[in-house]
């Protein structure tokens, strides 16, 4: 991505280039151990048009780096390699299967006088290992959600099946990677929870119980409103990656102007009191179509004996979405989908309306929002809860933050410091732009605050953060 910086006068401008993906490949060193068989090690390589010998050379270099670093620490081989022009990230998700991502460092192209070629200045320290290392792990988690492990594909159809699955999945997935927008939220990969009063929460729990009792095929349910999670029956790590898929891929593809309140004109084709807005986001787009296909995406979630394969049904009414997971061994029919539609549609529409009303009342009672003097990111490692007032919008293709990239980099640096030690601690930084940045780690929780108080001193900043904790996190204990 190119950005023009008007730093230089007389029409001579600097060009700033953000980080971008140079290559991404997956290999297994045990697949081509003999000379002349090196190409067999490569299971996937992007970009595919790279010449064969260069692919072999790049994979061989990564293999050598990993082996070399094992001599120093056999249990912890290299995770990244820093060079002037790029950064390489290594990840071994399963025994002998290696994923490598090569990212070009951000750079500035400075024009030269007298017609000489421009000079390139690489910004090597602008890329954080924690952020892009998390992106690589996310790539594997997303593959595993829809395809299961690499080993599963090997058992089912050998190397040929695995390469087909990798090609099919990563060809599309890598196009959704926008590395210039990656930041601290990618490290956390948390879940944003929707704040609800007890009565509305009980209504949702009752709805989930009724549906699971009426449709006994359903094994797990998740309930979201406004892209935020309210209820989930899945394991945390499975819900974490499913939530990422829903909020950055599926929901944005089906976004629409949401209708709110009970007075909205309801679906005219449904008669009686069962008027509703429900529709399938996965599976059939129109139940009345005689040619409708009743195929749903399959996902893999952890189970006691490894993993289980499930159909993923995502059903939405207004801003509320319910995800129903059913064993993949069951064939889903038109009858079942019509039954689900008639049962879930009206109830989900009413629930969405109730939640909207409750949310509107809560906002009205809390009074008009003033522009706060601070922005924050909060993350809880225990329940993966995440909240950010820094990010106005974050999807796979766009990330709008209300602070400068330099401040986001400071947040990442503080997070790196927190990761090195287990103890609770606090770090306060005065940025060059006169902002104060505070990081607080306490009992598996992390809070990062950016304060716009140019003339404040350390004591005043500390008091301001205490006030923030008292107002925004009054039910959460932070050590002083």
Model confidence pLDDT, tens digit, residues 195-218: 888 898 999 999 999 999 999 999
- Give pLDDT, residue 272: 42
35 and 154 share a domain?
Answer: yes
- Give pLDDT, residue 187: 92
Collect contacts of 222-225 with beta carbons under 8 A, ≥24 apart: 222/322, 222/323, 223/320, 223/321, 223/322, 223/323, 224/194, 224/320, 224/321, 224/322, 224/323, 225/194, 225/319, 225/320, 225/321, 225/352, 225/355
- With tokens 């490598």, the residue in question is 100
Which of 138, 158, 182 is the endpoint of a domain?
182
Which of 148, 182, 216 is the endpoint of a domain?
182
Sequence length of the chain is: 480
238 and 304 share a domain?
Answer: yes
Instruction: Spell out, as residue ranges, where the chain has pLDDT lower than 50.
Output: 3-11, 256-274
In a domain, 92, yes or no: yes
- CATH number, domain with residue 97: 3.30.450.70
- Give pLDDT, residue 477: 55
Angle between helices 198-214 and 334-365 (to 10 degrees): 180
122 and 26 share a domain?
Answer: yes
Collect contacts of 108-117 with beta carbons under 8 A, ≥24 apart: 108/5, 108/14, 108/15, 108/16, 108/17, 109/14, 109/15, 109/16, 109/17, 110/8, 110/14, 111/8, 111/12, 111/13, 111/14
- Give pLDDT, residue 77: 82
In a domain, 6, yes or no: no
Q: Up-side HSE of residue 307: CA atoms within 13 Å toward CB?
A: 18
- Give pLDDT, residue 88: 94
In a domain, 30, yes or no: yes
d(C-alpha 185, C-alpha 395), whole Å: 11
154 and 282 share a domain?
Answer: no
In a domain, 71, yes or no: yes
360 and 380 share a domain?
Answer: no
177 and 221 share a domain?
Answer: no
233 and 111 share a domain?
Answer: no
CA-CA distances (angstroms) from residue 319 to 166, 228, 283, 285?
Answer: 34, 10, 19, 18
- Give pLDDT, residue 382: 92
Least Cα distance to 411 among 102, 191, 186 occurs for 186
- Give pLDDT, residue 112: 79
38 and 154 share a domain?
Answer: yes
In a domain, 312, yes or no: yes
- Give pLDDT, residue 188: 93
49 and 71 share a domain?
Answer: yes
Which of 308, 332, 366 is the endpoint of a domain?
366
- Give pLDDT, residue 124: 86
CB 390 within 8 A of CB 403: yes
359 and 383 share a domain?
Answer: no
Domain region containing 127: 15-182
- Give pLDDT, residue 258: 43
In a domain, 4, yes or no: no
Q: What's the domain count of the chain? A: 3
CB 90 within 8 A of CB 80: yes
Pairing of strands 320-327, 218-225: antiparallel
- Give pLDDT, residue 372: 61
- With tokens 């959704």, the residue in question is 176
- Give pLDDT, residue 368: 52
Report pTM: 0.87
Burial track 67-91 (b if 16+ CB lie within 10 A, e otherwise): eebeeeeeeebbbbbeeeebbbbbb
């Amino acid at each position: 991505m190119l950005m023009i910086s008007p730093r230089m006068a007389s029409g001579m401008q600097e060009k700033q280039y953000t980080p971008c993906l140079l290559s991404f490949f997956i290999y297994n060193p045990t697949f081509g151990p003999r000379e002349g068989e090196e190409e067999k090690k490569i299971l996937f390589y992007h970009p595919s048009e790279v010449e064969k010998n260069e692919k072999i050379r790049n994979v061989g270099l990564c293999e050598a780096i990993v082996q070399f670093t094992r001599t120093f620490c056999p249990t912890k081989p290299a995770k990244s390699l820093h060079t002037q022009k790029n950064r390489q990230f290594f990840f071994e998700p399963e025994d002998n299967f290696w994923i490598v991502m090569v990212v070009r460092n951000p750079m500035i192209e400075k024009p030269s006088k007298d017609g000489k070629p421009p000079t390139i200045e690489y910004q090597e320290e602008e890329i954080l290992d924690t952020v892009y290392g998390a992106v690589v792990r996310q790539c594997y988690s997303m593959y595993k959600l829809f395809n299961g492990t690499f080993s599963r594909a090997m058992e089912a159809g050998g190397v040929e099946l695995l390469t087909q699955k990798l090609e099919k999945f990563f060809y599309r997935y890598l196009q959704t990677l926008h590395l210039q927008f990656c930041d601290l939220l990618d490290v956390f990969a948390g879940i944003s929870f929707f704040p609800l009063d007890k009565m509305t929460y009980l209504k949702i729990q009752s709805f989930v119980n009724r549906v699971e009792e009426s449709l006994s095929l359903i094994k797990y349910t998740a309930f979201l409103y406004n892209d935020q999670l309210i209820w989930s029956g899945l394991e945390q790590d499975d819900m974490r990656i499913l939530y990422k898929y829903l909020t950055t891929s599926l929901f944005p593809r089906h976004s629409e102007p949401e209708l709110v309140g009970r007075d909205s004109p309801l679906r005219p084709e449904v008669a009686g009191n069962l008027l509703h807005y429900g529709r399938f986001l996965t599976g059939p787009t129109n139940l009345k179509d005689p040619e409708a296909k009743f195929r749903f995406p399959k996902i893999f979630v952890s189970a006691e004996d490894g993993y289980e394969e499930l159909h993923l049904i995502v059903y939405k009414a207004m801003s509320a979405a319910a995800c129903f997971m059913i064993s993949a061994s069951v064939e889903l029919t038109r009858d079942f989908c019509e039954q689900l539609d008639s049962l879930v549609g009206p109830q989900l529409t009413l629930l969405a309306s109730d939640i909207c009303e409750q949310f509107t009342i809560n906002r009205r009672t809390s009074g008009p929002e003033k522009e706060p003097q601070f922005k924050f990111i909060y993350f809880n490692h225990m329940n993966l809860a995440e909240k950010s007032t820094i990010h106005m919008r974050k999807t796979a293709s766009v990330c709008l933050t209300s602070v400068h990239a330099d401040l986001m980099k400071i947040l990442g640096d503080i997070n790196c410091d927190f990761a090195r030690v287990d103890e609770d601690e606090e770090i306060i930084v005065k940025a060059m732009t006169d902002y104060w940045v505070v990081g607080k780690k306490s009992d598996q929780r992390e809070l990062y605050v950016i304060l716009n108080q140019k003339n404040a001193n350390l004591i005043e900043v500390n008091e301001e953060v205490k006030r923030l904790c008292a107002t925004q996190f009054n039910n959460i204990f932070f050590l002083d």
